[in-house]
């Protein structure tokens, strides 16, 4: 795989500008709250880090890992690979930070799973959304970008071999 066949879908500048907007909105909404940022591994790590570095809100971090992808197609079977401690969720204002809402299956599963741990409030912030792929509607409270149904790479998204997550922009391959 060469880099040349990658087209830029969302530039580094666009991501930066969106991070500023989201951070400022989240700071308003979470001011004075007992906030837990719940980052969904592995893809959302870049987004979570860069977003929260721009925020002033006092927060705790938690990480959770779910899996629903086998290859490039979602299997529809969601499994919990690594859970989060109840003490970071119960009675807290929880913000899930995710890289993508695609079919909605993983997020629907995750929202139910976290709701069962009795957060004071639960909201979702996703870097991108692919509405054309949606099978289960999930409410995205804070959204970076709505994108067409393309296989995206970079800024947390990997290619089939698990590489290139660390590109500073979001690209896609021309099929």
Active site residues: 102
CB neighbour list of residue 147: distance below 8 Å, 6 or more residues apart: 9, 10, 128, 129, 130, 170
Q: Which two tokens stand for residue 9?
A: 């879908």
CB neighbour list of residue 62: distance below 8 Å, 6 or more residues apart: 36, 37, 38, 39, 84, 85, 88, 89
Cβ atoms of residues 133 and 115 within 8 Å: no
């Amino acid at each position: 795989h060469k880099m040349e066949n990658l087209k830029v879908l969302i530039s580094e500048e666009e991501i930066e500008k969106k991070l500023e907007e989201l951070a400022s909105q989240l700071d308003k909404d979470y001011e004075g709250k007992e906030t837990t940022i719940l980052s969904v591994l592995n893809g959302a790590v870049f987004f979570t880090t860069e977003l929260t570095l721009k925020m002033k809100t006092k927060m705790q971090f938690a990480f959770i890992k779910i899996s629903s992808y086998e290859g490039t197609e979602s299997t529809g079977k969601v499994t919990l690979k690594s859970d989060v401690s109840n003490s970071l969720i119960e009675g807290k204002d929880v913000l899930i930070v995710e890289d993508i809402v695609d079919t909605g299956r993983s997020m629907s599963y995750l929202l139910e799973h976290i709701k069962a741990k009795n957060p004071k409030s639960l909201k979702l912030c996703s870097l991108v959304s692919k509405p054309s792929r949606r099978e289960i509607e999930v409410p995205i409270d804070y959204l970076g970008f709505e994108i067409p149904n393309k296989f995206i790479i970079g800024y947390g998204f990997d290619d089939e071999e698990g590489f290139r997550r660390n590109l500073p922009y979001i690209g896609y391959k021309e099929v």
